Every structure is written in C-alpha cells, then in structure tokens.
Amino acid sequence: MTATAGVFREPLRKSFDTEEHLGNAYQQALERNYEDFLIVDVDSHHYETEAFGEIARYIEDPVLRDEALYQGMARGGVTSVDGSYQEMTGRVTRYPLRRHEATPPTIHRDITLMRRWMDAMGVDMACMFPTPMLNIATCPRVEVEVALARAYNRWLCDNILSEEPRLTSMLYLPFNDPESCYRMVEEFGDRKGVIGFMVTATHYKSVQDNAFVKTYAALQERGLPLGFHAAYTWGDKSTALMNRFISVHALGFVWHNMVHMTNWLMNGMPERFPRLKTLWIESGLAWVPFLMQRLDNEFMMRSSDAPLLKRKPSDYMREMFYTSQPMEMVENKEALELTFKMMKAESQLLYSSDYPHWDMDLPSTIYDLPFLQEGQKRAILGGNAQDLFKLDPHFAPWKLERQKQRAMAARG
C-alpha cells in the first residue's frame, strides 16, 4: 500500500528546537516507560555565556565588572588554549544553532532550555554546571576566578535554582584560593538547590594541601558531597604535546581526575574525612578499574608511602561515587560488565548525560545494558543520586500525567 507521508519536514539549518532535536530521545523514554521511576542527571550543562551580562552584574568589584561586561566569557578563537573545536566544525548542530532557539519571555531562558531537554530525555531532576566558566579554573588571575565564581554562584541561586525545584547544582569552588572555597561553602551551603560543591579538575593546587582542610571539614559537617568535575586544558605541559582535540579530550578528562584521586587516596583523605562523600564527574568509567589495579599493586609493596590507609586503595574507591558519562561502550560489553562489578556500580554509579555537550549519553545507555537487573538500572538512573544528595523527588510533568492516565486505565 502507499501511505501519505506522516511528517513532511525538511531540517532547517537556521533554526533550532530542543524538543525536535531530541524527538528520538522522547520516543525512547516512552518505549521504556521512564515514567515508572525517577531519573536524575548528575552532570548536565547550560551555556551561561548567553546570560553572561546578567552574571557579570553580580561581580562586586566595579572595575572587574566593567572588564567582564566588555570582554565577555565566550571561548576564544581557534588559537586559544581552551577554545578548541569541540563542536567538530558544526557537525554537532546544537552548538551553532542553539542561539536561534526561541524561548518565552516570562521565564528565564536557561530554565526553559533545561526543562526542554530534560523532558525529552525523560530526566526528572538535573544537577547543572556552567560550560565556559568551568575553565576559569585555569585563569592565572586568582582574584578574577574568585570574583566570577561568586558572581556565577549568586546568579545561579537567585535566578535559576530558586525558581525550579527540578534543577540543582554542585557549586563551583575557586580552588586557587582555599580561603574563598571555605567562604563559598559557608555562604551558599544552605541555598535552595545546592546539593554539594565542585572543583574543576584542571586546578594546579594539590587536594591534600592543608589549606583545604577547613573546607573539607565544613562540607563533611554539612553532609554535602565534594565533586571533582573533569576537564581538559591545552595549557597543561603534557596535553600541550597533543595536536588533536580527540587526544586532549580523551586523556585530559581522565588524567586530571586521576591526579586528584591518587593524591586524595595516598594522603589518607578518606580516613581523615570518613563522612565526606566524593563524586568523580565526567571521566567515564574505564579509568576506575585501571587505577584500582595500579594503586593496589604499588600499595602492597610500599604502604609506607600511604601510612594513613588501613585498606587497599580500591576498597576506598569502591566507596566513592562516579558519574556515568562518557561511558566507554564500543564493542566492550565484557569489560563494561567487569567495570560495573569492580566499582560496585549498583550503589556507587550515578547516571549523567553531560547534555548538551558533544559526547552526551542518554538514559538508554544505562537502561539498555543487558547485564543489569531492573532494580540496578533504576538505582543508577536515579535512586543512587536521590540517596546521595537526599533529593526530594520532582518528576517531569509528562511523566506525572502518564502515571495518572495509566492509573485511571487500570481502574477501568
């Protein structure tokens, strides 16, 4: 038979609509009945560059405020250290087209855009991070990092987190200034939607520095997790040897977190702060079994180098938390299954999309894994995050509606 076209559409190159872009993701959500359980995305992003004028006005120093308003916050050009070509010369279309997306004037654009992609993917709650502002970690001017971090955190709490209970964040700590990190925890630790604090991994301060002890103690006291969000920088001496983005991204996003994890363990931080929960964000999974094996092997020969540890490094690593994206999953099901087992994924792994970035993962990357039981899938997709962050669950409106319809249908 010949049918007429159900949809007759020509993809436009000058407009963008998140719901249309993620239409296939919504279809996945419906097919898998995501309305049956909570999905929490622990690492997602927005482009704060679009609201940078608002954020810059939160900078208290009037000179720096003017400088920020004049200079802006966008990534630099093709020659910049962090500019890179993450967008693959336009191949990932949401990068260049995002700014054309229309949003209603009555609600903050960032909230609208977050809701749209979350609804399409079936994500109920998200922990959101900035994008270019993660890179202020590498700014050589410490006072600029501190001022921008505080301005962003204030802006986010005042304008976004206070308005939408589905949105949360682990706030940025300006790690180049330990005293400011402590003040940041004290100032923002009780704000609505703040579920922890985060260090961008491309900092060049050692995590075991005594200067940070006060901050770790404050986080532990408040029961707020500390996240290490992976990043890359072409300014690092080792990554400066690389000439392709794939190289600096593939290694950089793992390397910097491996440095911090190793320091964290060898200096006995899990023993010194036993109630402080750490979350390792956006380094994927494959590095975890590697580092477990490597550190255990050396620890058994030279435990005198890490005398505070009472157990093997891997034992502590299995008690830490990890986000899932970018999950390495090309023809490696056996390795992936072993990785899940080694890291005790059913209780320690937290789903993350990293949307809208180029290597984002949908919930189906977890839900479709053949070696997980339904309960394990649901724990990784939302339950573990709900427990770790003590979240009050807020479901996507379409899920609540579908739950209601199914309940009514069941009653006949």
Partner 1 sequence: MNELYVCKVGELDDGGVRIVGEPGHRIGVMLHDGEYLAYLNRCPHQGGPACEGMRIPQVQDVIDEAGLFVGQRYDESDLHIVCPWHGYEFHIKTGEHVCNSAVRLRKYATVVREGGIYVQY
Binding site for partner 1 (CB under 8 A): 1-11, 21, 23-25, 27-28, 31, 88-94, 358-362, 364-365
Q: Closest CB to partner 1 among 93 and 162? A: 93
Alpha carbons 167 and 128: distance in angstroms, whole number: 7
- Least Å distance, CB 360 to partner 1, is 7
- Least Å distance, CB 335 to partner 1, is 17
- Least Å distance, CB 91 to partner 1, is 5
Q: Closest CB to partner 1 among 48 and 354? A: 354
Q: Closest CB to partner 1 among 3 and 301? A: 3
Alpha carbons 273 and 270: distance in angstroms, whole number: 5
Q: Closest CB to partner 1 among 107 and 241? A: 241
- Residue 44 CB-half CA count within 13 A: 30
Do the Cβ atoms of 161 and 230 come closer than 8 Å?
no
Do the Cβ atoms of 41 and 49 come closer than 8 Å?
no
Token pair in block for residue 239: 């990554």
Residue type, 287: W
**CB neighbours of residue 274 within 10 Å:** 11
- Least Å distance, CB 87 to partner 1, is 9
- Least Å distance, CB 326 to partner 1, is 10
- Least Å distance, CB 1 to partner 1, is 6
- Least Å distance, CB 273 to partner 1, is 37
Q: Closest CB to partner 1 among 27 and 297? A: 27
Q: Closest CB to partner 1 among 355 and 389? A: 355
Token pair in block for residue 118: 């979350």
Alpha carbons 401 and 382: distance in angstroms, whole number: 19
DSSP state of 356: T
**CB neighbours of residue 77 within 10 Å:** 7
- How many residues does this entry show for the chain? 412
Q: Closest CB to partner 1 among 101 and 145? A: 101
Q: Which residue has the tokens 């899920």?
A: 399
* DSSP β-bridge partners for residue 41: 126
* DSSP β-bridge partners for residue 65: none
DSSP state of 166: T
- Least Å distance, CB 98 to partner 1, is 12
Residue type, 300: M
Residue in 78, 76, 95 with CA at minimum distance from that of residue 87: 95
At 44, give phi and psi (nearest 5°).
-135, 170
Q: Closest CB to partner 1 among 25 and 292? A: 25
